[in-house]
Structure formats: C-alpha cells, structure tokens
Amino acid sequence: MPYDPRAVNFDFSPDQRSLRDQARKFLAEQASSARVRRILEGAAPYDAELWRGMGEMGWIGTAIPEAHGGAGFGYLELCVIAEELGRSLAPTPFSSTIYLAAEALLLAGSEAQKKRWLPRIAQGNAIGCFALAEGAHVATPGNLTTRAVGGRVTGTKLPVMDGDVADFAVVAASETAGRAGLFLVDLEGAHVTRTSLTTVDPTRSHARLAFEAAAAEPLGAPGEGWPLVERLLDRAAVLVAFEQLGGAQAALDMAREYAIGRFAFGRQIASFQAIKHKLADMYVGVELARSNAYYGAWALSKDAPELPVAAATARVAATEAYYQAAKENIQVHGGMGFTWEFDCHLHYRRAKLTGLMLGSARRWKDLLVARLEAGAA
C-alpha cells in the first residue's frame, strides 16, 4: 500500500499560485478561443506566436536545469503551467517537447546530447517529439516493427504528436527481438519522410514518420530499454494529468455558466436536479482527479518511490474526469453544444486526444494494478 502521508501541506505554495494566476492571465489573451480556432480551422500546425510568447515568459525551460539553459524551477511549477495550458487548450508543441522529449534527455541523455538539445529547447528554438505508436494498436516492447541496427533506425511511426514540426524525435525501436530501446533522431537529417495526419483534434498536429536507415543515437545505457520508456511515460503522465485537469475544470466551468444563463420551462436549467446532479458528478470527478494529480506532482517533484503508482492513478483519474466533463458539457449545452460555433467540441476532442496520447486508461489501469501487486508482494 502506498505511503501514508500525515499532515498537511498538500497544496501549491503562494509563489506557485501566483505563477498560476500569471499564466492564466497570459493565456486568456494569447490562447483565447479565437486564437485556438485559428489553428483548428487554418493550415498552421501550431500557434508560433504563442509558442514564442511562452518562451519569453520562461515557461519552456521551467524544469530544465540552469546548467542547460533552463530556469531550473521544479516540477511543481511545471504542473502549474500544464494545468493552465490544458484549461486554455493552447495549441503549441509544449507537451511533446517538454513532457516527453526534454524529459527523455534529462532521464537518459548523455552530457553531449543534453548539451546539444536542452539549451535550444529552453530558448524555444527546438521542438522535440516522442515516437512510440505504430498504428491502430497498443505498442508493446514485443510488437515494435521499427528496428535499430548499427546506429540507424528503419520503420514507420504513427501518430507522432508534433512530428511534422519537430526538429528531433525520441524514437522507441526494437534492438533485438522483444527488446526495445530509445533513440535520438535528428529529423532534419536524411532518410526521414514526414506526412501530416488528420486526428480527432486538429488543434494539435500529428504526423507519420517513416525512417529509412536514419542516423540514430541510443538514449541511455544499453539494455535500459522498455523500463526507460515506462519511466518516461510515468513522468509525462503526471504532467499531462495537469493539462487534463485544467481542461476538465474549464469544461465544468463552461457547463455551469451555460446552465445558469439558459432558461427553459420558465426557469434556469441549472435549477433542475437532472442538471444539478450531473454537474455535481462532474465536480466530484474533477476534484478526485485534482487530488490524485497533486499527489503525482508531489511524487514527481521528489522523484519518490511512490511515483509509478501515483502517476498511474493520476493518469486514470484525469483521463476519466476530463472525458466525463467534456462529454457532459456538450449534453448540458443541448443542441448548441453540438455546433462548430460553440467551444464544447474543442474540449471533447482534446479530452480524447490527451486520454490516448500516453496510452489508454484501460492500459494504465492494468499497469496500476500490476504495480500495486508488486508493491504488496
């Protein structure tokens, strides 16, 4: 069973909360619904102006050590920013670059690899991506068809979030049968073909990456392989949980506001118990997800042994809370919720996207129980 914390400082600090206020204010202007819709409806893969602004605010290098050109704050600050990015639906390559690519470098990169990429990431001059999936099935160490042989990778990865705009990719490939590892591939190099993909959420761009013996450097010590992938996914799961939490809270807030303003049968629809109880259930889902995400943040910030269980718990709670809130937000809005014009669908799309980007809740539940079994053994 997990560590039993006692009392009692289970919240963000005043400084962290003022960072949250600052981020919320910035994103209300720079990632407004109109700005998000520019990416939804236009050809640009992401909001480059917003991405530059985030760099100027110092957010991109939040958890990158100062020695590598970052701000050297901690993961708690990064969680605070992630929640606001999720709330605003900010269409930038933040999650792939920071939660996955930079984290992979920090976890397993050589000094040379870190030196090459981290300062450029921190300055907003390099975008990274994480290439694991290979189509419409769950990726396992045993079924990866992308191969790494003699410093070159060959195979096709899809979908790769931000794969169309990234400068480099962290690629999962099998080295020998049933053994996988992570590799660093410069996407500007030769033997890489990128094709844009359509997904359920066009506010975040995705690509198919085809490697034909592309030059690749191993990340991490030989044999680290899949456990490294899992460690990376755990860390990203906590950070993405905060994005999901922000999105879930935003969907709940939208539903609440609409229900208060909308009249039917001569009164506010928010006065009907069918609506009130629906909103109460959304609230409970969001609050349980918030508490589980906070615990994940604590475990991530301390690199605590509880992290694998805490991350899986945060992931499952946040995935389900966001989907529930986004889905029911449409329902509360009635027919208007089903229109392109209303923003309900933006959260509905993002909820499903974030719910799958690190693997489905089904898979994380299985992982969670496996970890509880291992802990209780």
Interacting residues with another protein (CB under 8 A): 1-2, 5-13, 76, 256, 259-260, 267-268, 270-273, 275-277, 279-281, 283-284, 287-292, 294-295, 297-298, 301, 313, 316-317, 320, 362, 364-366, 368-369, 372-373, 376
User: Minimum Å distance from CB 297 to another protein?
Assistant: 7
For residue 345, count other CB atoms closer than 10 A to its CB.
Answer: 19
Closest to another protein by CB, 190 vs 274, is 274
User: Minimum Å distance from CB 275 to another protein?
Assistant: 8
User: Minimum Å distance from CB 162 to another protein?
Assistant: 29
**What is the token pair recorded at 184?**
């660093």
User: Minimum Å distance from CB 76 to another protein?
Assistant: 6
Residue 289 — φ and ψ, nearest 5°? -65, -40
User: Minimum Å distance from CB 185 to another protein?
Assistant: 35
- Residues shown for the chain: 377
SS3 181: strand
**What is the token pair recorded at 236?**
């990203």
User: Minimum Å distance from CB 138 to another protein?
Assistant: 13
Cβ distance 123 to 61 under 8 Å? yes
Interior/surface letters 6-33, b for 16+ CB within 10 angstroms, e for the rest: eeeeeebeeebeebbeebeebbeebbee
Closest to another protein by CB, 134 vs 320, is 320
Residue 353 — φ and ψ, nearest 5°? -60, -50
Closest to another protein by CB, 184 vs 251, is 251
SS3 316: helix
Distance CA 16, CA 227 (A): 32
Closest to another protein by CB, 196 vs 268, is 268
